[in-house]
Every structure is written in C-alpha cells, then in structure tokens.
Amino acid sequence: MGVFRGIRILWSADLWTSVIRTDHFVFFLRLSKIYTHLFFHASTSCTLLSPKEHLFCQRSLHASTRHLHRSLLSLLPPHYQFLSRQSTSSDHDDMLHSPHLDTFVFCKANTHVGPLQLDDLSDDIVDLVVHDLYVLRYKSVSALVRSGLIDLI
C-alpha cells in the first residue's frame, strides 16, 4: 500500500478507478479465453498458462465435465458418452475446439529482440524495442512468447 500511496496522490480518483477496472477487465478477458478453449488446454501440455491459470483450467474442466455427465451424457448410450470424441469409432479427439493461432495479438517486448521477419512469404521486418507495444500475428511471435522475450497483453 505504501508504494501506491504516492501514485494515488498524483493520479485523480477517476483515473485510478479506471486503471483498476482496466486491470480487472484484462484479467477477466484472459480467463474467458482460457475457459473458451478449456478442453483444448486440458488435452495439451500448454506451458503458456501460469500455475494459477492452470489450476483454474483444471478446476473448471472438472466442474464442467461433472455437470455435463450428470445432466446429459449419462442419458446417452455408452459409446456416445465422450466429451472429446463423437463416438467410439473416432480415432482421435475430433470435438475439441482449438484456438485460432493465426490471429493478431497485442504484445510487448521485454528485451530488445531486434529485427523480426513477420512472414515467410513477405520481406516485412519489424525491429522490436523494449517496452514498445505491437500488434502482430501470433504465428510470427509464438517462439518469442514461449521463450519469454515477448509478453502477450
């Protein structure tokens, strides 16, 4: 509280409230994205989730699975009681909704990364500077996100 006391004096109460609301919104947005792709995150070893997000994913998956089995799946024939497959004849998880990874994301560089080629098909290059914000395709920066050089916002 001592660190924020000086900042609160400099900022107006309205601005402070809007910053807090923005942080809560970003947190809510992140959890809603995780919840949307809950079964995908549970089926893969996703290292992009923090330990608390991973715990949220596990608990939400357990609650959703229990609810679906109690309300619907237990009424179906045994070979249709799967959450990830259409039937026992499916040889892979064909009902998992995977996230679309070729979309644009907001990101911030943690260190000076240097030039980054945006696409394999084009010669567009971006110089990533520390603390600058960028809107780039996730496919172009996924390796940098996994290594911790870039954070998603």
Domain of residue 110 covers: 100-153
Share of the chain above pLDDT 90, in %: 0
Flag whether 30 is in a domain: no
pLDDT at 86: 65
What average pLDDT does this structure show over 5-30?
Answer: 57
Q: How many domains does the chain have?
A: 1
**CATH number of residue 145's parent domain:** 3.40.5.60
| pTM score of the predicted model | 0.57
Place of tokens 């509280």: 1
Beta-strand ranges (E) seen in the chain are 104-109, 114-117, 125-128, 133-137, 150-152
Flag whether 32 is in a domain: no
Distances (CA, A) of 21 to 12, 17, 48: 14, 6, 24
Flag whether 68 is in a domain: no
Flag whether 110 is in a domain: yes
Q: Which residues of 65-83 are buried (b: 16+ CB within 10 A; e: fewer)?
A: eeeeeeeeeeeeeeeebbb
Q: Percent helix, strand, coil in the chain (nearest 5)?
A: 50, 15, 35
Q: Report pLDDT digits (tens) over 93-114.
A: 666 667 777 888 888 888 888 8
